[in-house]
Amino acid sequence: MAALNFEGQNLVGNSFQGQNLNGSTFFKARLESVRFDPNAQGQATQLRGTNFSESIWINVNATNAIFSSSGSFGPANFFKATLENVNLSGANLSGANLSLISTKDINLSNANLTNANLQEANLSGEQSERPNLAGANFTGADLYKAKLKAADFTGAKLVNAKLGSADLEATLLVNVDLTGAQFDAATNLTDVTLSNAIFDLTNLSGVTLTDTTSPDGLAATNSKFRGADLTNFKAEDVNFAGADFSQHSNGTRTNLTGANLADSELTGANLTRVIAENAFLEEVDLSNAVLVGGDFSNANLGGANLTGANLTGGVQLDEAFLQRTILAGANLTGANLSGADLKEADGNNQTNFTNANLSGASFEVGSFIGSNFTNANMSNAILTKGDFTNAIMVGANLTGATAVDVVGLTMGTSGADTITGTSAKDNIFGFDSNDSLNGGDGNDYLDGGSGADSLTGAGGNDILFGGAGNDTITGGGGSDTIHYRSGHGQDRINGFQVGTGGDILSFSGITAIDIVSSGTNTQFRLGDGIAGNAGFGTGSLCFTLANTSFTSANISSNIDSTSSPIFQFS
């Protein structure tokens, strides 16, 4: 059919169902109750290259109409058109020019708007009468400065869409795909309903997102921000529960540098390998969140809830502000908290700082009852008025730490100290010089430090760590564990009990031991692990079990199996 010219005409009730109107013009025409929907045979109306600029549409049905380009026809032009109660459901508007259009009660559900131009288009509505954009495809579309208030984007696709300075207030972003979309600081994302949205690789740098809600009945939003740029992003009182901020599959790490997520909900969120340096996360709920390998250097997590959070994988929290944080059950194994401020923080017997770097960190007035500091570096830490009752301090380095009015921890001086514990569990550190440490009753931990120390566990199941120097260690009653590390001196262990329920020897940094009988004593010497070697028993002496015979039969019951060397016997 030849192109038709309806420029400036008033069309009421006309039916163009299934017709080919490619290249026609409706410039400044008024269309009321006009039909562009398919005919009875299902033939879609063709409107490629048609000019609808500055036209007025009222109660028009253009379901499944084709406005996209093909052959010699470009896409349709709706520049400055006015559309009221128009049905464009399923229409193909790929590449169409819809810039500066004005709409009311628009239906673009399942329409194809790939690469369409919607710059400054007005598709706004109210929450009671939402513009229907559900399931529409806006891939690559330009929505710069578009007015989209209260629009329903449920199931829509906005991959690589441009949304700079767009107004998305009160929109429904449910099951929407915004992968690679571009926002800017002027984009309005207030009062958005957010659930299962995909923001992977999206540019949200400088954007503010406030007062989001979840659909009725949903506690978690479960949205995805993998590899997104969220630098200086600001979210006020936002529900990110269950959200995924982990590294994208292409290797791009999510960047939250300088972001402000204060008071937001991130329970169960995945922040694996996120970059969040200098982020402001005050009072954020990160309970049961996964922060494995994340970088939170200099971040502010004051008052945050990290109950049950996973902060392993070398998490960086150096110089982070963690005052008043809740760390109950948090796993910080191997984390870097050097210089971090944990004043008034709260841990419990499930909080794990094993192998963590806590050098120079502040634990002032904090409560870490029963927390695990095994092999943690706490050198130069400030522990003043902290409560470490029943904390596990095995192998911890407290060199230079300040411990005034500390509970559950006793620290010696650089001189020769004599310290006796209580009837409860004690953590006693002798440090330099030749110290005499006695745990008393209770399951104690004694650390001699450097010097020729005397360690006596006395009653209870004690853990004894001689440290550098030639120490004398006596477990006493109970099943005691005696630690020996590479570099420790030539120790003497008295009263070692072999057999089931007896004492335990634990090694670190040693691969092979030669066990040599010497009268009534047993010597443990460094070995090479080679049976029958002529050099057997000539290695450096580690320690002597005084008046104790130790045979291969005792390995299973009296050697810590987690780090057992190879043993050769004479």
Q: Which residues partner with 568 through β-bridges? A: 514
Rounded Cα–Cα distance for residues 238 and 231 (Å)? 17
Q: For domain 416-567, give the CATH number.
A: 2.150.10.10
Q: What is the pLDDT of residue 1?
A: 65
Long-range contacts of 301-305 (CB under 8 A, 24+ apart): 301/325
Cα angle 425-426-428, degrees, rounded to a multiple of 5: 160
Q: What is the pLDDT of residue 212?
A: 84
Q: What is the pLDDT of residue 543?
A: 98
Query: How does pLDDT run across 476-501, given as a tens digit for each residue?
Result: 999 999 999 999 999 999 999 999 99
Q: What is the pLDDT of residue 470?
A: 97
In sequence order, the 6+-apart residues with CB closer than 8 A to the CB of 528 are 512, 535, 539
Find out whether 204 and 229 touch, Cβ atoms under 8 Å.
Answer: yes
Q: What is the pLDDT of residue 217?
A: 64
Residue stretches of the chain with pLDDT short of 50:
none
**Domain extent listing, the chain:** 1-116, 416-567
The top-level CATH class assigned to 1-116 is: mainly beta
Longest Cα separation, the chain = 118
Determine which helix (DSSP H) or strand (DSSP E) holds 428, and give its type and residue range. strand 427-429
Round to the nearest angstrom and report the end-to-end CA distance of the chain: 105
| Helices (H), ranges, 407-544 | none
Q: Give the CA dihedral 144, 145, 149, 151, nearest 10 degrees.
A: -20
